Amino acid sequence: MSSTLVSPTPGDAAEQRPAPHRLIMICVLVATMGALAFGYDTGIIAGALPFMTLAPAQGGLGLNPFSEGLITASLIVGAAFGSLASGYLSDRFGRRLTLRMLSVLFIVGALGTAVAPSIPVMIAARLVLGLAVGGGSATVPVFIAEIAGPSRRARLVSRNELMIVSGQLLAYVLSALMAALLHTPGIWRYMLAIATVPGLLLLVGTFFVPASPRWLASKGRFDEARAVLEQLRDTPAEARREVDAMRAHDQQAAHRLSARELLRQPWVLKLLLIGVGLGFTAQFTGVNAFMYYTPIILQHTGMGTNAALTATIGNGVVSVIATLLGIWAIGRYGRRHLLMSGLVVVVLAQAALGCVLQFMPQNLVQSYAALACILVFLLFMQMCIAPVYWLLMSELFPLQVRGLLTGVAVSMQWLFNALVAFVFPIAVSTLGNPTFFVFALINVGSLAFVFLCLPETKGKSLEQIEKHMKKEL
């Protein structure tokens, strides 16, 4: 008895092919589970710290300002190393496998922080968790950018920032709910344990998404890249054109420099410096001083712990709304325009907050005026600066060394984050309220940097951006 294999007609093939938009959204949803974990892990510390500062007999770890800054910054230092390592791993083994490895670190690190019996163990667990957070921050935007086409890249990569701020909002809401409903020692352990959930979802999800077609192409696996793109694009012809463009780009570079030689090229080094400068710009807005320490800032105005935790939910709500607005704006306006607009308002909000804290009497009016300044700051930070930063990290660097350079640039961003997180409580305890005027001055310098140094990437394919950068820098 024999059987014959009948090739499907074009119509049959179209019916069997999964809807491209649906598959792309599944890929984005899975990848951004790493961003959700990133947001929750960085946000939950704001709710956990007030309880961790309690004495061990009351269920805390007995933190002081130094150990408080150390525990907060340890995750960020781990993130710096994680983003650097993941850049190499994602170039070597692929974006999808790297995300799978990071999901395991998310789970192990979250469990470690939840059961930590002492400050040193907590720091070690936060370092492990930081490796995952940093690795995800460098890998997720690149994976999404390489899955998406040029017309959808900006909005889809911006979903990464949306999931980060959604994770932070979830952390703030759960912190406030647990503080109000659970009156048990060590409540912060439950807060930290919940971070295992997005890690588990990321681990499972990586088995249901394809490999990055551009990573496949970078390894010369064009047939596999085409097969993936035929699932992700509206028509096979569109997929073929994209693969042909990648093949032509590869052939033009057949005589190209090796990755090591490419890293010595002046235009590539300039791009890396711009990437590092953007990381400085994003972090020295002072955004994470607010994300980590808003409850403590509000407590200094006389607000109670539970009220401060509840008020901090406003940070998360505004950040989510702002990111949704940013996703809309980023498809319509240039990257430079959005960054500069955001920085102008950030400078004004920082200066206003310094004035409120320095010159207003300590009462409920001061508390809500300070919160209003913080919320205005976050609105423009999360609408105009943060989404553009992560989008640029997925666009700026050449394909041959994209993972590595993204990892290096994001790693520096995490080191700047760690510096702000560690220094802020110390600066506030020594300088006091003028700390916010210092942030405002720094952001004036960042505005000048963006104006003078940042090229525009809107509306170009990744290959066109690379050609443009090589020509212009």
Report the alpha-carbon distance of residue 50 to residue 36 in Å, rounded. Answer: 23
Instruction: Tokens for 438, please give them.
Output: 């210092």
User: Model confidence over 15-39: pLDDT tens digits?
Assistant: 445 577 788 889 999 999 988 988 8
- Residue corresponding to tokens 């490999």: 211
pLDDT of 8 > 50? The answer is no
Do 62 and 54 meet the contact criterion of CB atoms below 8 Å apart?
yes
User: Model confidence over 146-191: pLDDT tens digits?
Assistant: 888 777 777 888 888 889 889 988 988 888 888 888 877 788 899 9
Sign of the CA dihedral 450, 454, 459, 461?
negative
Q: Taking Cα atoms as reference points, which of 392, 179, 409 lies closest to residue 304?
A: 179
The pLDDT assigned to 458 comes to 78
Amino acid letter, residue 44: I
- Of the candidate CATH numbers 1.20.1250.20, 1.10.3720.10, 3.20.20.150, 3.40.50.300, the domain formed by 18-209+256-472 belongs to 1.20.1250.20
- What global pTM score does this model have? 0.74
Q: How far is CA 299 from CA 279, 294, 304, 357, 366, in A?
A: 30, 8, 6, 12, 11
Report the alpha-carbon distance of residue 189 to residue 172 in Å, rounded. Answer: 15
Q: Give me the torsion for CA of 207, 213, 217, 219, rounded to 10°.
A: -20
How many percent of the chain have pLDDT more than 70?
88
In terms of C-beta density within 10 A (0-12 exposed, 13-18 middle, 19 or more buried), how is residue 7 classed?
exposed
pLDDT of 260 > 80? The answer is no
pLDDT of 433 > 90? The answer is no
pLDDT of 1 > 50? The answer is no
User: Model confidence over 314-370: pLDDT tens digits?
Assistant: 777 888 899 899 888 887 888 899 999 999 999 999 999 999 988 988 888 888 888
pLDDT of 254 > 60? The answer is no
Residue range 446-470: average pLDDT?
80
The pLDDT assigned to 391 comes to 86
pLDDT of 289 > 80? The answer is no
Do 199 and 129 meet the contact criterion of CB atoms below 8 Å apart?
no
Instruction: Tokens for 319, please give them.
Output: 């950040």
Q: How far is CA 347 from CA 281, 314, 374, 443, 458, in A?
A: 12, 20, 12, 6, 25
Q: What are phi and psi of 238, to 5 degrees?
A: -65, -40
The pLDDT assigned to 316 comes to 79
Sign of the CA dihedral 141, 233, 326, 100?
negative
SS3 19: coil
The pLDDT assigned to 203 comes to 95
- Max CA-CA distance within the chain? 93
pLDDT of 2 > 80? The answer is no
**Residue 287: Cβ within 10 Å count:** 22
The pLDDT assigned to 255 comes to 52
Instruction: Tokens for 362, please give them.
Output: 């300590």
The pLDDT assigned to 258 comes to 60
The pLDDT assigned to 11 comes to 43
Instruction: Tokens for 206, please give them.
Output: 């990586």
The pLDDT assigned to 70 comes to 84
Domain edges within the chain: 18-209+256-472
The pLDDT assigned to 7 comes to 37
Q: Across the chain, what does the average pLDDT equal?
A: 84
